[in-house]
């Protein structure tokens, strides 16, 4: 599975509805980032501030949803996306549910662990009946435990695993439904992960166009690769057939 980092972010503004629509249309898995606003709403944006990806400035956590929704989140990328809004997590999950032709994986990353955010995410995932498709990654163990308290079925992830010893130690971790690795494990190691009913995802040189890494990951039969170049990776593999 190819996991489109922040949606199809080289073709539409990252972490916006058009970027996710494009990824869904191509049956790619989706990675997205979540923050909580000052008034307790969940929005999908990568940075702690709105400075880079909107025409505004300020920290997401210091702004209300209404303030954030007044910003233009598309003009910076291209004029044809002018007027685009920062989406709420509710909107993104609804979009995925409505547009997917078959279930796509959804990787949720909280950049800041704010009060009550785990339960709010779980309730939205339940609302849109996406529990089997979502895993949360990047959070510390205490946050994963809060996810499990909110719903034990929500998949949590141990990150970031850089070597075989760390991988082996993690296999017995009850919070490791998924493994997020920064190296390419052997086919035997991946088989062992799968026998335990877990999933394993590669996060290595995400921003770089690396066919060598894509090929090695495919050979090891990892569950997926997080990349900024999902289309190029797919075309590369198709050209080898």
Rounded to an integer, what distance in angstroms lies between the CA atom of residue 15 and that of residue 44? 6
Secondary structure E strands in the chain:
2-5, 29-36, 42-44, 106-110, 134-137, 155-161, 178-181, 199-202, 224-227
Count the Cβ atoms, other than its own, within 10 Å of residue 25: 12
Element (H, E) at 138: none
**Strands 178-181 and 155-161, bridge-based pairing:** parallel
User: CB-based contacts of 64: which residues, under 8 Å, 6+ apart?
Assistant: 37, 38, 39, 41
Rounded to an integer, what distance in angstroms lies between the CA atom of residue 156 and that of residue 140? 10
Known catalytic membership, residue 236: no
Q: Which residues of 138-175 are buried (b: 16+ CB within 10 A; e: fewer)?
A: bbeeebbebbbebeeebbbbbbebeeeeebeebeeeeb
Rounded to an integer, what distance in angstroms lies between the CA atom of residue 183 and that of residue 181? 6
Is 204 strand, coil or helix? coil
Catalytic pick among 11, 46, 166, 236:
46
How far the first Cα of the chain sits from its last, in Å, is 17
Known catalytic membership, residue 11: no
Active site positions, annotated: 5, 46
């Amino acid at each position: 599975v190819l996991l489109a980092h922040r949606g199809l972010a080289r073709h539409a503004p990252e972490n916006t509805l058009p970027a996710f629509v494009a990824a869904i249309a191509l049956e790619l898995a989706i990675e997205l980032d979540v923050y909580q606003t000052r008034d307790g709403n969940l929005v999908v944006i990568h940075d702690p501030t709105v400075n880079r990806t909107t025409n505004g400035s300020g920290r997401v956590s210091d702004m209300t949803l209404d303030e954030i929704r007044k910003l233009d989140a598309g003009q910076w990328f291209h004029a044809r996306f002018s007027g685009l809004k920062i989406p709420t997590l509710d909107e993104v999950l609804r979009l995925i549910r409505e547009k997917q032709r078959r279930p796509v994986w959804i990787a949720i990353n909280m950049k800041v662990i704010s009060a009550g955010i785990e339960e709010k995410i779980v309730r939205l995932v339940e609302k849109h009946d996406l529990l089997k498709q979502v895993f949360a990654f990047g959070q510390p163990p205490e946050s994963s435990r809060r996810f499990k308290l909110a719903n034990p079925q929500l998949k949590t992830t141990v990150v970031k695993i850089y070597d075989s010893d760390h991988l082996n130690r993690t296999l017995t971790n009850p919070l490791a439904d998924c493994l997020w690795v920064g190296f390419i494990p052997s086919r035997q190691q991946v088989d062992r992960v799968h026998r335990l009913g877990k999933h394993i995802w590669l996060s290595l040189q995400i921003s770089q166009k690396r066919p060598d890494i894509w090929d090695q990951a495919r050979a090891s039969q990892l569950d997926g690769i997080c990349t900024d170049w999902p289309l190029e990776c797919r075309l590369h593999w198709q050209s080898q057939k």
